[in-house]
Structure 1
Amino acid sequence: EAIYGGLNSLKGARVLVTGASTGIGEQMAYHYARFGAKIVITARREKVLQQVVEKCLSLGAQKAFYIAADMANEADPDKVVDYALEKLGGLDYLVLNHIGPSPFSMWKGDVDHTKWLMKVNFFSYIQMAWKALPSLEQNKGSLVVVSSLLGKITSPFVAPYSSTKFALNGFFGSLRHELAMKKSNVSISVCTLGLIDTDSAMEKVRGVTDVPAYPATDAALNIIITGSTRQPELFYPWFTYFIVITKDWFPSLTDYMTQNSYNYIP
């Protein structure tokens, strides 16, 4: 409860969370609700979104709405931001968290899948950020981008996914410089997450790796705190920071450890 008291600034805050039907996004919606925020959530499945919205209202959200959308569809990212602006009258937080499904396997040359994944995991993010920027500017708002350790270091079996996360880090890192040079009052927080115990992640790595997984609800709370305190970066769990640092100092050690933390079944 102390944490919820400590972030009073989120009471009545207007928040849009993407990828909020399951996993980290769903947990973020519940935390924002407990803080008394006004929330719009989106994902593809209407039925699940409906249930999440009901739970948000029961947890204390001042308002909660949902809009079903497919981020691979070029019109949907803008449509979602417009809907949130209309329902909430503006935005204080845009939390970009959605990802498309991607196989956890050796790269077999599926270029079309990678193009599709780029649309979902990358292009829709920059489209929504641009669409929401004027409102965020007006409200001294925050842009929160959920990325991954796989956007900082390379790893087997995730080439398409990793490429989308590297793209996010590059784009939003660059945009942060531009906003600072323009003396913009919008903050950008890029969140580097390790393995989180969401159903979709655990399904992929079970039996393939012994890397420890961390709780989605805790990851979600850390992301929210990072955004509301306007920190440029989050590393969760904490040791992901050291992995990123050591990769440049000891590249061959990092490669060795990476390749040996997976059981490769040809």
Structure 2
Amino acid sequence: MKTLLKFFVICTALAAFLWHDTFYPESLRGARVLVTGASTGIGEQLAYHYARLGAQLIITARRESILQKVVDKCLELGAQQAWYISADMSQSADPERVVKYAVEKMEGLDYLVLNHIGSSPFQMWNQDAEHVRTLMQVNFLSYVQMTSAALPTLEKSGGTIIVVSSMLGKLATPFVAPYTATKFAVNGFFETLQHEFSMRKSNVSISIHILGLIDTDSPIGGHVLHTFCNAFLWLFRGYINATAYPASEAAMHIIRAGTTRQNFSFYPWYIYFVCLFRDWFIYFRDICIQNSFTY
């Protein structure tokens, strides 16, 4: 136990050194930002933080009436300009339409923030392949489409693609197979692009954010993350809070890491060690996961 704790402290110190904060808020004043999934949860909080920092904003989601309220609040908080465009990412034409609108309205783009997700039931997979196909369009293919459409203007601005992902895209658990598949696809695709952009010395950065349990209205994966995190963190009870973290704090973490062009970030911090656990102790990982849930 002492050896494990020493190793844990060393890893934490190393992580703190590697991820030291160089965030400069003024760098976002006037920045041109497109945020998806911005009607509620993390996306809404991202919009408010960017507004407070004086950015120009385009937000998108499906519900127009809610988007209007978010835009009004963004303007009150200090956004230089703010617009919305309603879109359904399950429709193959909408991702490119949103990017085109944003680029025309703001005359360019500095940050593409990919945050939207589709709904999926919390249950054993019921052999519904069509649902997997639809969710893959919303959670993955639309990200690819928006990246493809935005890349020319991001290359002109030396911009950043911010990808909001999940621990469930790193660690397979029961009851969320379709959602987990989409997040594994997102992580794999954008990690590959990071390599390719680096190899061709692109001035566009990709920042991937692996989130744990966040306090939002979306039920997707919430029970899974809560159950597994509590099971995994029993060694560190009293040191780590495995309850849901505020969406506002998660959003600010994403903005800081994205603005400083970090390739990866993990929030809350212990998610990094949960992901390490995935590959280091495979047998115990699977026992821990399977014994954490009741079927």
Q: Which one has the largest radius of gyration? A: 2
Residue 67 of structure 2: aligned partner: 49
Give the whole-Å Cα distance in 1 for the aligned partners of 2:152 and 2:81. 22
1:14–1:93 CA contact under 8 A, matched in 2: yes
Deviation, structure 1 residue 259: 2.5
**Pairing partner for 1:226 from 243, 253, 257:** 257
2:118–2:135 CA contact under 8 A, matched in 1: yes
Residue 178 of structure 1: aligned partner: 196
**1:182-201: per-residue Cα shift (whole Å, max 9, x none)?**
11100000110011110123
Instruction: Say whether 1:68 aligns with 2:99.
Output: no
Give the whole-Å Cα distance in 1 for the aligned partners of 2:278 and 2:179. 19
1:195–1:201 CA contact under 8 A, matched in 2: no
**Pairing partner for 2:57 from 24, 34, 39:** 39
Deviation, structure 1 residue 257: 2.2
Where do residues 1-266 of structure 1 align in structure 2 (5 Å cutoff)?
Answer: 6-201=24-219, 205=223, 209=227, 212-262=243-293, 264=294, 266=295
For structure 1, the 5+ residue unaligned runs are none
Residue 11 of structure 2: aligned partner: none
SS at structure 1 position matched to 2:163: strand
Deviation, structure 1 residue 204: 5.7
- Structure 1: which amino acid aligns with 2:177? A
- Structure 2: which amino acid aligns with 1:70? D
What TM-score does the superposition give when structure 2 sets the normalisation length? 0.85
Give the whole-Å Cα distance in 1 for the aligned partners of 2:24 and 2:110. 18
- Structure 1: which amino acid aligns with 2:75? L
SS at structure 2 position matched to 1:80: helix
Q: CA RMSD in A?
A: 1.7
1:104–1:204 CA contact under 8 A, matched in 2: no
Give the whole-Å Cα distance in 1 for the aligned partners of 2:85 and 2:221. 27
Give the whole-Å Cα distance in 2 for the aligned partners of 1:173 and 1:36. 30
Deviation, structure 1 residue 256: 2.2
Matched residue pairs, number?
260
For structure 2, the 5+ residue unaligned runs are 1-20, 231-241
Residue 8 of structure 2: aligned partner: none
User: Mean alpha-carbon deviation: is it higher for 146-155 or for 249-258?
Assistant: 249-258
SS at structure 2 position matched to 1:201: coil
- Structure 2: which amino acid aligns with 1:142? T
**1:161-209: per-residue Cα shift (whole Å, max 9, x none)?**
0000000111111111111111110000011001111012389639x83
- Structure 1: which amino acid aligns with 2:275? V
2:99–2:146 CA contact under 8 A, matched in 1: yes
- Structure 2: which amino acid aligns with 1:97? N
Give the whole-Å Cα distance in 2 for the aligned partners of 1:232 and 1:243. 18
User: Mean alpha-carbon deviation: is it higher for 208-217 or for 130-139?
Assistant: 208-217
With over 3 angstroms needed to count, the CA separation of the structure-2 counterparts of 1:149 and 1:202, relative to structure 1, is: closer
- Structure 2: which amino acid aligns with 1:52? V
SS at structure 1 position matched to 2:90: coil
Q: What is the aligned-residue identity percentage?
A: 60
1:122–1:164 CA contact under 8 A, matched in 2: yes
